[in-house]
Chains A and B, each alone.
Chain A
Amino acid sequence: MTIGFGDRLPAATVLEMTEDGPKPVDLAERLKGRRVVIFGLPGAFTGICSTSHVPSFIRTRQGFADKGVDEVICLAVNDPFVMNAWGEATGATAAGIVMLADASGAFAKGIGMLFSIPERGLIDRSRRYALLAEDGVVKVWHPEPDRGCSISGGEALLEAI
């Protein structure tokens, strides 16, 4: 079952790369009492994610800050080593976007967005979406209905909040 407006995001432990290596992050704890944008996507270094989705949040990062968003998080079912390299390669990390690894896929599964495209080597990944959470509760929910990146992009989410 996919989450939606008004739902509390499921508890999940994700991973963040630090100077001392990967560190677990209790997502529910991280969201508590804060306004946070999360966008999720199929995978680091894949086409639309690198050329469209991440850049749209780099462009709008300041816009979200101006609207009182405390943090913008990019989540993918990848490991923290890959997320770290991808954050650097795309410029997302430099733009202040936090790259978190949903390495086990537990969060993507919990929000009902898990999918696979075996012929492209993508197994148990996350469908594309963007959301705004306030105190861990979904206030804006923008799942991408088709291929591509329109409603789940930075501009569309920024406009909705």
Chain B
Amino acid sequence: MTIEVGGRLPEATFSKMGAEGPELVQLGDLTKGRKVVLFALPGAYTGPCSTIHVPSFVRTAADFRAKGIADIYCVAVNDPFVLKAWGESTGGTAAGITFLGDADGSFTRALGMDFTAPQIGLHGRSNRYAVVLDDGVIAAANVDKPGVCDISVGEALLAKL
């Protein structure tokens, strides 16, 4: 499966930290009848994810909302406990970004975006991409090459809206 404008993302069950603890949410329910942004990255607390990728969406969150984006989702192959802590420490949660855990990595694999780098302890993680979803259909997409954080940042996606 490839990420291309006019296509859809695979159906997925994500873990999300709720008020009562972890809960499961369906991607279809999050995107139905709404315009949302979804960006994915290799992992909480890793270098460029914390210093570049998430901050780029923190900076642009208000601009996305001004352009009619209802929600911004950050997806990583992490559990909801780690993502909650990381969302708070990066300022992502405060900026209104919702962190979704692809805990078993099945969504990332179905999308063909998974990679493994055992020497740094990353198994079945996600390469970087950012998409705009309009009622679940990909309306804009920026997919980075593995190991790069360039066009999947907030500003570059915003420029496509």
Contact = CB atoms under 8 A, between A and B. Distances in A.
A103 B103 CA distance: 14
A10 interface: no
Given A45-B82, A123-B104, A79 B118 contact: no
B101 interface: yes
Contacts of B47: 81
B115 interface: no
Contacts of B84: 45
Interface in A77-113: 78-82, 84-86, 89, 101, 103-104
Interface stretch (B55-63, B66-74, B120-128, B147-155): B120-128
A154 interface: no
Contacts of B80: 120-121
Name B's interface SS.
mixed
Interface residues of A, number: 27
Contacts of B86: 85
Interface stretch (B29-37, B38-46, B135-143): B38-46
B108 interface: no
Contacts of B85: 45, 85-86, 89
Name A's interface SS.
mixed
A45 B46 CA distance: 15
Contacts of A33: none
Contacts of A80: 120-121
Contact of B79 (A21, A22, A43): A43
A122 B21 CA distance: 13
By size class, the interface of chain B is 20 to 34
A7 to B, nearest CB: 26
Contacts of B89: 85
A121 B103 contact: yes
B89 to A, nearest CB: 8
Interface string B81-111: 1101110010000000000010111000000
Given A81-B45, A118-B103, A22 B120 contact: yes
Contacts of A119: 22, 24
Residue from the set B21, B46, B79 with the largest chain A CB neighbour count within 10 Å: B79
Contacts of B82: 43-45, 78, 82
Contacts of B21: 120
Contacts of B15: 120-121
Chain A to chain B: the 7 pairs with minimum beta-carbon distance, closest first: A121-B15, A103-B121, A121-B103, A79-B121, A81-B45, A121-B79, A45-B81
Interface of A: 15, 21-22, 24, 43-47, 78-82, 84-86, 89, 101, 103-104, 118-123
Given A80-B121, A121-B103, A122-B103, 17 more contacts: A15-B121, A43-B81, A45-B82, A45-B85, A78-B82, A79-B120, A81-B46, A81-B121, A84-B45, A85-B45, A85-B85, A85-B86, A86-B85, A119-B24, A120-B21, A121-B22, A123-B103
Interface of B: 15, 21-22, 24, 43-47, 78-82, 84-86, 89, 101, 103-105, 118-123
